[in-house]
Amino acid sequence: MTAPVLETQDLIKNYVIGGEMVHAVNGVSLRIDQGEFVAIMGASGSGKSTFMNMIGCLDVPTSGTLKLDGIDTRTLNSDELAEIRNRKIGFVFQQFNLLARTSALDNVAVPLIYAGVRPAERRERARARLDAMGLGNRLLNTPAKLSGGQQQRVAIARALVTNPLILLADEPTGALDTQTSLDIMGIFQKLNDEGITLVVVTHEPDIAEYAARRIVFRDGKVIEDAAVTSRRRAEVA
């Protein structure tokens, strides 16, 4: 059996809104192993985004256990959680979250600054990741001079530049047209074929079919966790 990248046991996240207790995530127990490609689905308010924030160490659970690479995140302080995010987790977002006046190369290098990597190595590693994304001729372009698909490729390169344990993508195709979305899913499948563990949050059933496993949330609980039997394959453009 492959090593677990992520394990949760009876994970709970509660909020008090308008004087009422809301169970955003309500007793979720699951395991994601190294090399898996998982799609997390659910309607708005189902708990999928709250769950993603917790496994990304952006939020802390009310109770339950969350282990990342065998580390119980409940034992970590805010600085240690920030270090875990930088070393072990790569993030890809719907709106790319790139620095507007900064080149693609320097955008990708940003996480390496926080990791204490020297400037020459930062640029070398950022360049290599952009080359792998097919953007070797766009290194000095700012986001305004890149298409949406190219911006998302920069964001993926940035997420990978620290060689993370797991890649978390929150609605990564939500701002893209159909063909560009397929291109991005092709990149994710290629990365997964290379052994990278991916978790993608999406509300689009057809996008979820590019993953190998689908987890569906409703009212803070997992109501489905199964292999994708009719998995689609996408080609990298």
Q: Residue 85's beta-bridge partner residues? A: none
- Length of the chain in terms of residues written: 237
HSE-CB of 132 using CA atoms within 13 angstroms:
19
Q: What is the pLDDT of residue 237?
A: 59
| Predicted model pTM | 0.93
* Contact indicator for 42, 218 with CB cutoff of 8 Å: yes
Please say if the pLDDT value at position 3 is more than 80: no
Cα–Cα dist 227/19, whole Å: 39
Q: What is the pLDDT of residue 1?
A: 59
In the numeric block, which tokens belong to residue 148?
Answer: 């949406």
Cα–Cα dist 91/159, whole Å: 5
Structural domains in the chain? 36-52+77-227 (3.40.50.300)
> What proportion of the chain, given as a percentage, has pLDDT over 90?
88
Does residue 166 sit in helix, strand or coil?
strand
- Mean pLDDT score, 75-97: 92
Helix (H) or strand (E) holding 198: strand 197-201
Q: What is the pLDDT of residue 57?
A: 94
pLDDT (tens digit, 9 = 90+) per residue, 128-150?
Answer: 999 999 999 999 999 999 999 99
The CA-based dihedral angle spanning residues 174, 92, 59, 86, taken in that order and rounded to the nearest 10 degrees? -170
